């Protein structure tokens, strides 16, 4: 069975000097329109308790173009500017729905430089893409083909901090669901072992940032010696950005391969709902946790399971997976991080990570069988959280360590 999904295909391209100048000018105008509209919305709300809609912001953009101060906005394509207002509207909708923080201003140095073109603002012909205001198609390096006969509906052009240019093509793609299997796996995220599976397999952390730490430190020291804002400072800044880009690219590639393997081999994947933001407050482990990129791995598992007909179960973050004995159900009062192996009073010997992965799998399958499903959010009620934890412990107490492909015996 196949399902139709919208999928983005990202490619690198090399613009001419004229194209780079036009795109850079467009990036600046997009950032200006976004920040100016955000400033007006903020002043209207805090000064007059008045909300400004997208239609009002769009009408204001038309008036800005008629003023001498912002007449240059009419020199670039109008579609990316309108898309910036739509993105701002989405940001406010998410804020009022309490799904995100208040929208922030875009920085010229720190924000991602990008412009989004809808179908009316670019030409697609025989595999050649030409955005509006361009005199020639972009020189795209097609690292992989687009789906047969697919044409992009939205094009996003961006430039990262390392100076690399990318184009993302949003297309309609047909994805065939993976063959059904009875295998299920629990995954416990860690630092030394990036992921420990309930099968007993430990996937070693590649330590992408640590492997390039000396190169990064050297580039940062070189940057610190330059006069800020000079041409040499900009060259040194790009070298630092290239090291960061190398680390991020290698990490993303590894996580894609790992998540694809887990989704391909298992019908059900069970993970923990980790509060990564809170864990990063630990100064001792913050650097290692950031390098592990647990949140990025979870995001990949979520959309790949949805694509290929798999089930992803996220258990409560307060479930004591490491301290719970998978044999008798006893919960230890304390289990410091330096204790990697421990023996329960019942005589069972446990590897900390493998035991946690087995308990995660048992808890996830028990919650799924009881209809409790996915619980990705923290329950603010202490009483309900405690009762939910007790129910999960009762369901998993005495459950055997479930291996991939075995039946659940609850």
What are residue 313's DSSP bridge partners?
270
Distance, in Å, from the CA atom of 359 to the CA atom of 196, rounded to the nearest integer, reads: 12
Considering the candidates 22, 116, 188, 372, report the single residue annotated as catalytic. 188
Q: Is 272 a catalytic residue?
A: yes
Considering only CA atoms, give the Rg of the chain.
Answer: 25
Closest CA to 44 of 32, 33, 55, 56: 56
Distance, in Å, from the CA atom of 10 to the CA atom of 141, rounded to the nearest integer, reads: 10
Listing DSSP states for 47-81 in one string gives HH-----HHHHHHHHHHHHTSSTTGGGGGS-HHHH
3-state DSSP percent of the chain in helix, strand and coil, to 5: 45, 20, 35
Considering the candidates 22, 272, 316, 372, report the single residue annotated as catalytic. 272
Closest CA to 183 of 407, 410, 404: 404
- Vertex 270, ends 264 and 271: CA angle to 5°? 115
Q: Is 234 a catalytic residue?
A: no
Q: Is 139 a catalytic residue?
A: no
State the residue for tokens 């998540």: 259
Are the C-beta atoms of 396 and 372 separated by less than 8 Å? no
Listing DSSP states for 146-201 in one string gives PSTT---SEEEEEE-TTS-EEEEEEEEEEEEPPPP---EEEEEE-SSEEEEETTS-
Are the C-beta atoms of 175 and 2 separated by less than 8 Å? yes
Catalytic residues: 188, 272, 353
């Amino acid at each position: 069975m196949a399902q139709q999904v919208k999928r983005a295909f990202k490619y690198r391209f090399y613009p001419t000097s004229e194209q780079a100048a036009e795109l850079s000018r467009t990036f600046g105008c997009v950032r200006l329109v976004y920040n100016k509209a955000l400033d007006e919305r903020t002043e209207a709300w805090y000064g007059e308790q008045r909300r400004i809609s997208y239609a009002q912001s769009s009408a204001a953009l038309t008036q800005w173009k008629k003023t001498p101060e912002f007449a240059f906005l009419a020199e670039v394509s109008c579609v990316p500017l309108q898309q910036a207002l739509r993105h701002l509207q989405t940001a406010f909708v998410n804020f009022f729905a309490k799904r995100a923080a208040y929208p922030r201003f875009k920085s010229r140095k720190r924000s991602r430089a990008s412009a989004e073109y809808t179908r009316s603002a670019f030409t697609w012909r025989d595999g050649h893409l030409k955005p509006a205001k361009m005199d020639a198609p972009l020189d795209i390096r097609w690292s992989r083909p687009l789906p047969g006969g697919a044409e992009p509906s939205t094009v996003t052009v961006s430039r990262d901090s390392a100076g690399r240019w990318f184009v993302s093509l949003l297309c309609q793609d047909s994805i065939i669901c993976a063959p059904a299997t009875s295998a299920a796996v629990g995954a416990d995220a860690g630092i030394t072992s990036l992921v420990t599976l309930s099968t007993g397999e430990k996937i070693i952390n590649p330590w992408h940032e640590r492997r390039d730490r000396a190169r990064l430190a050297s580039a940062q020291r070189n940057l610190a010696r330059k006069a800020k804002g000079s041409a040499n400072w900009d060259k040194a800044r790009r070298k630092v950005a290239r090291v960061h880009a190398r680390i991020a690219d290698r990490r993303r590639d590894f996580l894609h391969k790992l998540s694809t393997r887990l989704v391909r081999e298992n019908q059900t994947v069970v993970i923990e709902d980790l509060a990564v933001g809170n864990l990063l407050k630990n100064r001792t482990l913050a650097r290692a946790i950031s390098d592990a990129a647990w949140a990025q791995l979870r995001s990949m598992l979520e959309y790949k399971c949805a694509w290929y007909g798999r089930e992803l179960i996220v258990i409560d973050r307060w479930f004591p997976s490491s301290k719970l004995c998978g044999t008798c159900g006893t919960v230890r009062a304390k289990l410091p991080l330096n204790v990697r192996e421990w023996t329960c009073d019942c005589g069972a010997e446990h590897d900390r990570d493998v035991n946690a992965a087995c308990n995660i799998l048992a808890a996830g399958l028990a919650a799924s069988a009881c209809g409790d499903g996915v619980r990705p959010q923290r329950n603010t009620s202490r009483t309900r959280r405690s009762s939910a934890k007790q129910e999960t412990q009762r369901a998993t107490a005495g459950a055997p360590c479930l291996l991939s492909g075995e039946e659940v015996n609850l």
